[in-house]
């Protein structure tokens, strides 16, 4: 996944809240599946609310035409904005927003996964985090879906290779637009729209 995008003090606090709290234990090297579950279990135990983002991959090697790659990069920037706006590891009721573009690599590393294994198992990890969000839905957990507002690329604005599957999984887990737990966040290439 793409490296973290800076983000200032809030991102630093979020990262410290995850790493320092033991959610991500980078020294752990047991069986991969056990470590992956252990990392997710720590996320479950440490945060009152766990949000998750469905976003196109916007880093090096993103697929598509030049215009699609720019739009995916904008989606990744909007996901960073949503992460900043919907994470607070210092609050009484701690909130974590899982951004796959920045957090998959941290969780995979903590579980001892190689980059190749991470690429092969990202859906598994995303789904495990969705399961934590589902368990914490009553506390306010949400699924945020990055949706490009321009119809010239794809009519529905869903640009990520796995996003349709993520949306289906979120709906199957009980997240929906009616109760505000499934939130579509529109963005443009210049990310001129505010994250909800």
The whole model's pTM is what?
0.78
* Structure confidence by residue, pLDDT tens digits, 70-110: 889 999 999 999 999 999 877 778 999 999 999 988 888 88
Report H helices in 53-152.
66-85, 100-110, 115-135
Query: 49 pairs with which residues across the strands?
Result: 95
| Whole-angstrom distance, CA of residue 146 vs CA of residue 157 | 8
pLDDT above 90 (res 55):
yes
Residues forming a β-bridge with 95: 49, 88
Can you tell me the mean pLDDT for 18-36? 43
For the stretch 105-153, pLDDT in tens is 888 888 788 889 888 888 988 999 999 999 999 999 999 999 998 765 6
Asked if residue 148 lies in contact with residue 157, where contact means CB atoms within 8 angstroms, the answer is yes
């Amino acid at each position: 996944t793409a490296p973290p995008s800076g983000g200032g003090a809030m991102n630093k606090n979020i990262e410290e809240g995850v790493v320092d709290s033991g959610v991500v234990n980078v020294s752990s090297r047991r069986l991969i599946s056990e470590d992956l579950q252990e990392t997710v279990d720590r996320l479950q135990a440490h945060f009152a609310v766990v949000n998750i983002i469905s976003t196109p991959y916007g880093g090096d090697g993103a697929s598509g035409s030049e215009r699609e790659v720019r739009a995916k990069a904008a989606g990744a920037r909007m996901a960073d904005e949503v992460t900043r706006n919907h994470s607070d590891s210092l609050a009484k009721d701690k909130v974590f927003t899982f951004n796959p573009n920045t957090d998959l690599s941290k969780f995979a590393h903590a579980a001892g996964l190689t980059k190749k294994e991470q690429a092969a198992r990202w859906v598994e990890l995303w789904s495990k985090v969705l399961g934590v969000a589902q368990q914490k839905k009553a506390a306010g957990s949400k699924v945020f879906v990055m949706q490009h507002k321009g119809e010239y690329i794809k009519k529905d604005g869903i640009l990520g290779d796995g996003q349709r599957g993520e949306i289906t999984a979120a709906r199957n887990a009980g997240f929906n637009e009616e109760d505000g737990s499934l939130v579509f966040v529109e963005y443009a290439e210049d990310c001129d729209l505010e994250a909800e």
